[in-house]
Amino acid sequence: QVQLTESGGGLVQPGGSLRLSCAASGTTFTIYVMGWYRQAPGKQRELVTTMTSTGTTTYADSVKGRFTISRDNAKNTVYLQMNSLKPEDTAVYSCHVDGDGLVRPYWGQGTQVTVSS
């Protein structure tokens, strides 16, 4: 079975940067789509960004120009570079993966990102 290992969350000041990573283990197949969701207190979970194995990306309007998704297909690892962070970016960020080589989609446990002065 697949396990997702997330890291990189933490506390940063407004304008700062963080880099999240999510490594999928337990499969020899390249994962088709990898991405990140986030959920802030009192708000619905929202899709932040995705990237397919062929390089197609999507971004939520709220993070365009500030966040960048990347991935290493050989390692089945996805990254989220977050720059110019704002307090409204504070949320639990969760990795999500899916693809034909997986029996089902998988979610990471989530990593807390807090942006506060």
Rounded-to-integer distance, Cα 73 and Cα 32, Å: 9
Average pLDDT in the 52-76 region?
95
Average pLDDT of the residues in 63-86: 96
> Is residue 113 scored above 90 in pLDDT?
yes
Task: Read off the pLDDT of each residue in 70-86 and give the average, rounded to a whole number.
Answer: 95
* pLDDT at position 1 over 90: no
Q: What is the pLDDT of residues 7-60, one digit of tens each?
A: 999 999 999 999 999 999 988 788 899 999 999 999 999 999 999 999 999 999
Q: Which of the 8 DSSP states describes residue 64?
A: T
Neighbours of 22 (CB within 10 A): 26
Opening angle at CA 59, ends 54 and 61, nearest 5: 160
Beta strands 3-7 and 18-25 are antiparallel
Phi/psi of residue 96, each to 5°?
Answer: -140, 135
pLDDT at position 27, please? 81
